[in-house]
A and B are shown apart, each in its own frame.
Chain A
Amino acid sequence: MNAGLIESLYELLEQVTGFIYPNEIEIHWSILIVVYPYITGLVAGAFILASLVKVFNVKALQPTYRLSLLTALAFLLVAPLPLLLHLGRPERFYEILLTPNPSSAMAMFGFVYAWYLMGVLLIEIWFEYRHDLILMGQQAGFPLNWVYRILSLFSRDVSEAALAFDRKAIGTITIIGIPSAFLLHGYVGFIFGSVKANPWWSSVLMPIVFLMSAIVSGIAMVIFLYMVVAGVKKEPLDMRCLDTITSYLFYAVIVDFSLEALDFIHRLYESEESIKILAKLITLKLFMSLFVLQILLGMFLPLAILVLAKSLKFNDELRKLLYFTSAILIQLGIFSTRWNVVIGGQLFSKSFRGLMAYKMEVMGIEGLLTALALLALPFVILAVLIRVLPTKSLTDQASHAA
């Protein structure tokens, strides 16, 4: 038997306050399950930002369009990993695809994921890059030219009609993609929101709150990456783009905050059976992660910074610094949001009479190091993707150079 687990459970037993059902001592969904909705949220948010360009024709956001798509892809590729590593029997994961239980929200993960990856994101990226891939396949030397040819699926047609078809295809896919992105992350919210046994999770607002916070985190991540990538490549930042994108971020944070406030007030006003233990939960267990990190540092402070940056006529450099700071603070806030949902929901007993404790492993497979590795991995993938797939269209670059 796992001696380390037993030892840590004895330790946790000492930290229980009040009464809990004896089986509840073990916190089953660990830091990896915090990472999972955080990552899928970034995917959905980045994609929705990208679709603003194509569906709503927000031209100012064009410089971040490709970066948003690649960000979504990089994070999407990592999204199933925390789930897989968390399973007690990861070698049996395929059963969820072969014999899914139609009544289980979780069983739908494979299908939602596969649809989003292969039905939406990869196809949109392919159409977006087809022309460039053909051009690069012609220009690059061996063996890269073959990589590009394979990636372009050996397509060669660069006629105006073919390019027009590409644009049309992207438009259509984006229109399908928006509800799909909503589905991807709304669905993750539903996994939690549909657990009626857990009053901290069980809320019809949960999928919507997840979705809005996903949009917030995705936009903030693209801002962060856009500034970092431009810094690394020593390219100038498009300030019009940055101003527009941060405006969207501002509104998204406002909507997200309103939804969470509504959820909070609704619970408080209804004051159901669970209210006392939830009050203890947020004051005794989640004070730091909820009030300080999520609300104060992750929401109010970046909002204040954005208001300052927008209302006062700061110069470009100072605005950049302010935007960058708020993008990072928002990541911190949204990660705390995920933590408060996932871990917070497991820190009180379903007897509503006691609180448990969570002690994060450091080394183990469900520990801090694995979580950090999983959080770093998308950035590595993104670095590779950006190297292979330029974030600026080659034809645009050529016209600029001309």
Chain B
Amino acid sequence: MKRREILKGLILFIPAGGALRALASQGGPTVAGPKEGSGKPDAKVYDPESHYYGMGIEVDKCIGCNRCVEACKAENDVPQEPFFFRTWVERYVIKKDGEVIVESISVKGGARQPAVQEDPDVLRTFFVPKLCNQCANPPCVQVCPVQATFSTEDGVVLVDRDRCIGCRYCIQACPYGARYLDPRTKTADKCTFCYHRVVKGLLPACVEACPTQARIFGDLKSRASRLVRFTRMNRVHVLKPGLNTEPKVYYAQLDGEVR
């Protein structure tokens, strides 16, 4: 091969590789795959400081199929009984006379609900997926007497079940009803954004399972992330902003009736 061709090849290869790398890093965090031979992910490569996770929810895209809830329960070993949810889906039916009927479709054992009939009395109807808002100013972390629940550097609120004493102050302090006491361990539990998956560069189970991409997971620190794009393209709202919890779950097309 001539020297000229090698140089030519290099000129093309280097920027192309850079572009590919940039594309690959979009949407999810960058984590090195398993080191050859070691079989374990290289812990040094995942740097929590360079990430800050959040979720976007496009209300109009949710079809109320409950698959996110089922995926969450399966992925995270959440008790199947309808009293323990890391995520759930609410259905709102707003009547012309102002009456608002809300129900959690996830409570009924995930059974598919019949569609709301065309009813002249119904003004609008929609589904709203709910989960822990992974607040930047979390009241649950503030009140935990033993620091069993804490905020990670990459913006996720977690519970250390080996430290939790089961006082349930965090459950009282959460304005969103996102926490429950795991009846098996008698410790508090909640959505982790599937932290075990996220640090490996995977998406949370609910996001992965959603057939309509109503849930968008991403890194607020990465300009190229889908979440940042979502917040750029939509007018977003958070739940109960008056409580100053600074949620990191952002809703697009959120109705004022949703609390």
| Residues of A in contact with B (beta carbons under 8 Å apart) | 1-2, 5-6, 9, 13, 18-26, 28-29, 83, 86-90, 92-93, 95-96, 99-101, 103-107, 109, 191, 195-198, 345-346, 349-353
**17 extra A-B contacts, CB within 8 A, seeds A13-B82, A92-B146:** A5-B183, A19-B101, A23-B84, A23-B171, A28-B168, A29-B172, A83-B167, A89-B166, A90-B165, A92-B163, A95-B163, A96-B146, A103-B143, A106-B167, A107-B146, A351-B259, A352-B259
28 contacts between A and B (CB under 8 A): A1-B183, A9-B81, A13-B83, A18-B102, A21-B104, A21-B177, A22-B82, A22-B104, A22-B106, A23-B171, A23-B179, A23-B180, A24-B177, A26-B180, A88-B166, A88-B168, A89-B164, A96-B145, A96-B165, A101-B145, A101-B147, A106-B145, A109-B145, A195-B173, A197-B173, A197-B174, A350-B174, A351-B259
Q: In the complex the two chains form, is A88's CB within 8 Å of B165's CB?
A: yes
Cα A113 to Cα B107 with chains together (Å): 42
Chain B residues, Cβ within 8 Å of A2: 183
- Asked if B146 and A87 sit within 8 Å, CB to CB, the answer is no
5 pairs of A and B residues whose beta carbons are closest in the complex: A88-B166, A21-B177, A88-B186, A197-B175, A107-B145
Q: Mark B95-137, 1 if CB is under 8 A from A, else 0.
A: 0000011111011000000000000000000000010000000
Kindly state the separation between the CA atoms of A86 and B148 in the bound complex, as whole angstroms: 17
B187 A23 Cβ-Cβ under 8 A:
no
Known: A22-B106, A89-B165, A92-B165. A9 touches B177 (CB 8 A): no
Q: Given A88-B186, A95-B165, A23–B81 Cβ distance below 8 Å?
A: no
B139 touches A87 (CB 8 A): no
Q: Name B148's closest neighbour in chain A (CB-CB).
A: A95
Choose one: A23, A86, A353; the contact of B259 (CB below 8 Å).
A353
Known A2-B183, A88-B181, A349-B177: A104·B143 in contact at CB below 8 Å: yes
- Assembled-state Cα–Cα distance A28/B83 (Å): 13
Alpha-carbon distance between A113 and B84 when the two chains are bound, in angstroms: 34
Contacts of B143 in A (CB 8 A): 103-106, 195
Inter-chain contacts of A96 with B (CB < 8 A): 145-146, 165
SS class of chain A's interface: helix, strand, loop or mixed? loop
- Answer whether A23 and B146 are a contact pair too, CB < 8 Å, given A29-B172, A88-B165: no
Q: In the complex, which residues of chain B have a beta carbon less than 8 angstroms from the beta carbon of A346?
A: 172
B163 and A23 contacting across the interface, CB-CB below 8 Å: no
- Compute how far the CA of A293 lies from the CA of B14 in the bound complex, rounded to whole angstroms: 80
Residue with the greatest number of chain B CB neighbours at <10 A, chosen from A21, A95, A109: A21
Across-interface contacts of A6 in B (CB, < 8 A): 81, 83, 183
Shortest C-beta distance, A193 to chain B (Å), equals: 12
Q: How far, in angstroms, from A165 to B148 measured CA to CA in the complex?
A: 47
Docked CA distance A352–B175 (Å): 11
| Chain B residues within 8 Å of A351, by CB | 102, 177, 259
| A100-B146 in contact given A22-B104, A28-B172, A89-B186 (Cβ < 8 Å) | yes
A-chain residues with CB within 8 Å of residue B81 when the two chains form the complex: 6, 9
Bitwise, B211-222 to A at CB < 8 A (1) or not (0) is 000000000000
B227 within 8 A of A: no
* Set of chain B residues within 8 Å of A24, measured between Cβ atoms: 177
Chain A residues in 8 Å Cβ range of B259: 350-353
The smallest beta-carbon distance between B82 and chain A, in angstroms, is: 6
CB of A20 to closest CB in B, whole Å: 8
Shortest C-beta distance, A350 to chain B (Å), equals: 6
- Which residue of A6, A83, A197 has the most chain B CB atoms within 10 A of its CB atom? A197
Q: Are B83 and A26 in contact (CB under 8 A)?
A: yes
Bound Cα distance from A26 to B177, whole angstroms: 11
Q: In the bound complex, do residue B107 and residue A22 qualify as a contact, i.e. CB atoms below 8 Å apart?
A: yes
B178 contacts partner chain A, Cβ-Cβ < 8 Å: yes
Are B146's CB and A197's CB within 8 A?
no
A111 to chain B, nearest CB (A): 11
Q: Is B85 an interface residue (CB 8 A)?
A: yes
Give complex CA distance A167, B146 in Å.
41
B116 nearest CB across to chain A (Å): 15
Across the interface, which residues of B come within 8 angstroms of A29, CB to CB?
A: 168, 172
Residue B243, interface by CB 8 Å: yes
Contact present for A197 and B243 (CB under 8 Å): yes
| CB pair A22 B243 closer than 8 Å | no
In the assembly, what is the distance between CA of A23 and CA of B190, in Å? Answer: 10
